[in-house]
Amino acid sequence: MQNASKDTDAALVNKVLQLRKLLTKKDFLGARKLADSIAYANTGEPERAMACFEQALLAAPENPLLHLNLAHAYTQRGDIERAQRAYKSASALDPNLPGAHTGLANLAVMEGKLSQAEELFRTALRADANDVPALLGLGHLLADRNELA
């Protein structure tokens, strides 16, 4: 049993080493800042989270998850214009990222642009048919319009 554990540990170490080779220093810094940002956001320190997200974007501007999480932070602060830009950046970098479309859809709902919101929720669901926020958003939108069967 101990040999199996050592084999598993060795395989895990090899996998980590392979992944490290694939990551550039900038990717690693961006991932670390993303983790820090999420931690600050989850502990109620939005200003520190924003600073970390912005630093992470300097390290890895092509990372759609950084743009997505920054957009969420902007939305929480009520900075709708910046949130829209960040969601659009995330979507441009990864068109199959449902969270970017769902975020834009939620902003569209806030602005009363319900047709646009519906299309964005549906775009998110084309990217991931099981995306819970998009399913809930579309469901609420259709329920409010009495269009649920």
d(CA 36, CA 101): 24
Can you give the pTM of this predicted structure? 0.71
Report the alpha-carbon angle 80-117-62, nearest 5.
Answer: 55
The predicted pLDDT at position 60 comes to: 80
CB atoms within 10 A of CB 101: 28
What is the tens place of the pLDDT at every residue in 79-112?
999 999 999 999 999 999 999 999 999 999 999 9
Which parts of the chain have pLDDT scores under 70?
1-44, 46, 148-149
- Report how far residue 149's alpha carbon sits from residue 147's, in angstroms, rounded to the nearest whole number: 6
